[in-house]
Amino acid sequence: MLEAKDAGYLLAMLKMCDDIESYRSEFVTIDAALKKRIWINAVLMNLSQIGEYAGRISESTTGKYSSVDWKRIKGLRNIIVHDYFGVDLERVRSIVEEYVPSLTKELTGIICKSVAAGEMDSGLVEAANSDMKVIKIVAPSKKS
């Protein structure tokens, strides 16, 4: 059974992935984005928060969904927080282009499975993420 706190963390992580994707879409290329300090700050903040929440997810959930590299996500958070100005922007590029879309798919899958199994309240999903296209697929329509 998915712990209630884990549901919140998973939804928050997914929202942050969605935010990173939306920041990325504001630029024609990732190279243009990497020249904007505000973009870098926003992305790094979201990546560090994703790592923070990954570290708070229960062992039962991380064990059940071992396809997600929880340790690496937490490790990235530690690098960002403890060596902010030492962060390799080429690595950030790779994470934004390759890993964030992959993590989005994995988190969406976990949330979909949890809702389908009755482990996560679909109302919580809908209420917490009403602005996210990936969640709207998961949340059933409201019944009158």
Residue 124 confidence (pLDDT): 66
Confirm if 14 and 134 have CB atoms less than 8 A apart: yes
Distance from C-alpha of 77 to C-alpha of 46, rounded to nearest angstrom: 9
Cβ 92 vs Cβ 40: under 8 Å: yes
Q: In a structure prediction context, what are the per-residue pLDDT tens digits for the chain, which is 144 residues long? A: 788 889 989 999 999 999 999 888 777 677 787 788 888 899 999 999 999 999 999 999 999 999 999 999 999 999 999 998 899 988 988 999 899 999 999 999 999 888 888 888 777 666 555 445 444 434 343 443
Residue 30: CB partners within 8 Å, gap ≥ 6? 24, 93, 96, 97
Contact 37, 117 (CB under 8 A): no
